[in-house]
C-alpha cells in the first residue's frame, strides 16, 4: 500500500463540479485581480473567524511581512519569536531590519514558552510573534499578559491554525483574532488550502485594516496616489474562488482530520518509543499535521518510506542554527527543548481523504519498525 503524506487530487475529485464552476466563473468574468470573489471570501473569513476585518494577500509570508512593517517590527526593533517554527516567522522581522529574539518552546505542545520569552525582554523589545503550531494555539492568555505588561505589539502567526480556537478571558477566540494582527496561509497542504499560494491578514482595528488594504497595492488607496511604500501582494481571484468552495466544507474537513488523529492516538498509544501530541485544556484542536515524537526518528522515517508511506520532518534544524541567522550569535545548546524536538518530531500522513485502512497501515508499519528495533537489541 502507498499512503501519501498529502494528496490534493482526492478532494478535487470529490467536489470537481463545484471547483470547475468556480474557476470557470472567474475566467468568464475576466476579473483576475481583486475580483468580487476576493471580496466575498474576505467577508466569509470575517464571518467564520469573528474578526472585524480581513484582507487577502498573495501568501502567508507576505502577510507576516506586511503586518510586521505596519506594526513597526523593523529597523532595530527586537521581536520575540519561537525558535521551533517555520522560517517565515522570523524572516519577516529580519528582512525589515529588525532583530529576531528566539525563545524556546514547550516540549508537550511545541508552542512558545512564554516564561522563556519574558526572560528575553529588553528595553528594545517592541513586539512578539506567537505561533499557533500544528494542532493548537499558543498560550494567548500568557502572551497577552506580557503584551500588556511590557507594551508590546502582537502579531499572531496563525498560518497553520485556521479553525483553531482557545479560551481567552472566558470566551472562545479563533486563532489570529486576539492580537493586533493575525495572519493565515492558504498553502495547498493547509487545513484551508488553495490551488497555489494565498494568504490573509485579519484585525479588529480599523486603522490597521485600512493600512493593510493599502499596503497590498503598493501603498495606494486611490489609484496612482501612494501614501506608503507598500507591496504588490494580492490574493488571486482564482484562488479566492477555490477557497470559497473549500470554506463551505471546512467543518467536515476539520472533523475528518480529527477522526484520523483519534485513530492514530488509539493505535499508537501503547508504543513506548512514540510520544503523542498533548492538547492544552480547553483548546479546540485542528490537525493541520499530526506530529509525534519518535525514538530513532530518522530510521523510522526511512522505514516508512520503504513501506510507501509519506512523512515530513517539522523541523530538521531550529532557526537559531540556520546559516542565515549565524549573525545573531546563537549556538547549539541555547534552546535545548527545540533542539531535542528537531531530532525527534515526525509528521505522519494527515489530510481529510485518508482512509481508516491507510491510517491503520501507517500505524502497523510504525509498530513493526519498533518490533525490529527490539529484536535487534535483544540479539
Q: What is the pLDDT of residue 373?
A: 86
Q: How far apart are CA 156 and CA 122, in angstroms?
A: 20
pLDDT tens for the chain, 379 residues: list them: 999 999 999 999 999 999 999 999 999 999 999 999 999 999 999 999 999 999 999 999 999 999 999 999 999 999 999 999 999 999 999 999 999 999 999 999 999 999 999 999 999 999 999 999 999 999 999 999 999 999 999 999 999 999 999 999 999 999 999 999 999 999 999 999 999 999 999 999 999 999 999 999 999 999 999 999 999 999 999 999 999 999 999 999 999 999 999 999 999 999 999 999 999 888 999 999 999 999 999 999 999 999 999 999 999 999 999 999 999 999 999 999 999 999 999 999 999 999 999 999 999 999 999 998 876 665 3
C-alpha cell at position 107: 516540549
Q: What is the pLDDT of residue 377?
A: 65
Q: Which domains does the chain carry?
A: 8-104+111-247 (3.40.640.10), 250-378 (3.90.1150.10)
Of 350, 242, 258, nearest in space to 12 by CA: 242
Beta bridge partners of 286: none
Q: Record the pTM.
A: 0.96
Q: Which residues contact 11 (CB under 8 A, 6 or more apart)?
A: 246, 351, 352, 353
In this structure, is the dihedral angle defined by the CA atoms of residues 319, 320, 321 and 326, taken in order, positive or negative?
positive
Amino acid at each position: 500500500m502507498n499512503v501519501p503524506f498529502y494528496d490534493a487530487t482526492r478532494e478535487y475529485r470529490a467536489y470537481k463540479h463545484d471547483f470547475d464552476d468556480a474557476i470557470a466563473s472567474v475566467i468568464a468574468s475576466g476579473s483576475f485581480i481583486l475580483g468580487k470573489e476576493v471580496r466575498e471570501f474576505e467577508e466569509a473569513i470575517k464571518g467564520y473567524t469573528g474578526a472585524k476585518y480581513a484582507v487577502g494577500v498573495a501568501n502567508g509570508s507576505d502577510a507576516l511581512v506586511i503586518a510586521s512593517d505596519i506594526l513597526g517590527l523593523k529597523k532595530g526593533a527586537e521581536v520575540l519569536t519561537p525558535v521551533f517554527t517555520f522560517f517565515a516567522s522570523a524572516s519577516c522581522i529580519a528582512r525589515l531590519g529588525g532583530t529576531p529574539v528566539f525563545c524556546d518552546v514547550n516540549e508537550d505542545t511545541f508552542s512558545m514558552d512564554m516564561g522563556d520569552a519574558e526572560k528575553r525582554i529588553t528595553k528594545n523589545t517592541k513586539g512578539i510573534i506567537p505561533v499557533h503550531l500544528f494542532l493548537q494555539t499558543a498560550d494567548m492568555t500568557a502572551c497577552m499578559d506580557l503584551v500588556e505588561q511590557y507594551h508590546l505589539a502582537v502579531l499572531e502567526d496563525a498560518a497553520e491554525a485556521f479553525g483553531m480556537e482557545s479560551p481567552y478571558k472566558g470566551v472562545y477566540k479563533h486563532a489570529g483574532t486576539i492580537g493586533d494582527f493575525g495572519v493565515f496561509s492558504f498553502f495547498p497542504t493547509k487545513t484551508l488550502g488553495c490551488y497555489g499560494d494565498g494568504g490573509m491578514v485579519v484585525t479588529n482595528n480599523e486603522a490597521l485594516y485600512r493600512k493593510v488594504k493599502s499596503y497590498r497595492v503598493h501603498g495606494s488607496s486611490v489609484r496612482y496616489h501612494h501614501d506608503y511604500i507598500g507591496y504588490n501582494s494580492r490574493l488571486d481571484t482564482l484562488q479566492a474562488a477555490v477557497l470559497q468552495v473549500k470554506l463551505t466544507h471546512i467543518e467536515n474537513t476539520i472533523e475528518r482530520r480529527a477522526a484520523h488523529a483519534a485513530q492514530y492516538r488509539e493505535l499508537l498509544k501503547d508504543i513506548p518509543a512514540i510520544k503523542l501530541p498533548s492538547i492544552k485544556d480547553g483548546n479546540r484542536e485542528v490537525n493541520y499535521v499530526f506530529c509525534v515524537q519518535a525514538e530513532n526518528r530518522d530510521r523510522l522515517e526511512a522505514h516508512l518510506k520503504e513501506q510507501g508511506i509519506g512523512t515530513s520532518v517539522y523541523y530538521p534544524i531550529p532557526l537559531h542554527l540556520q546559516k542565515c541567522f549565524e549573525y545573531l550569535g546563537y549556538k547549539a545548546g541555547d534552546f535545548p527543548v527545540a533542539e531535542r524536538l528537531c531530532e525527534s518530531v515526525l509528521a505522519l500522513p494527515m489530510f481529510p481523504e485518508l482512509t481508516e485502512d491507510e491510517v491503520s497501515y501507517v500505524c502497523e508499519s510504525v509498530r513493526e519498525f519498533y518490533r525490529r528495533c527490539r529484536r535487534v537489541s535483544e540479539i
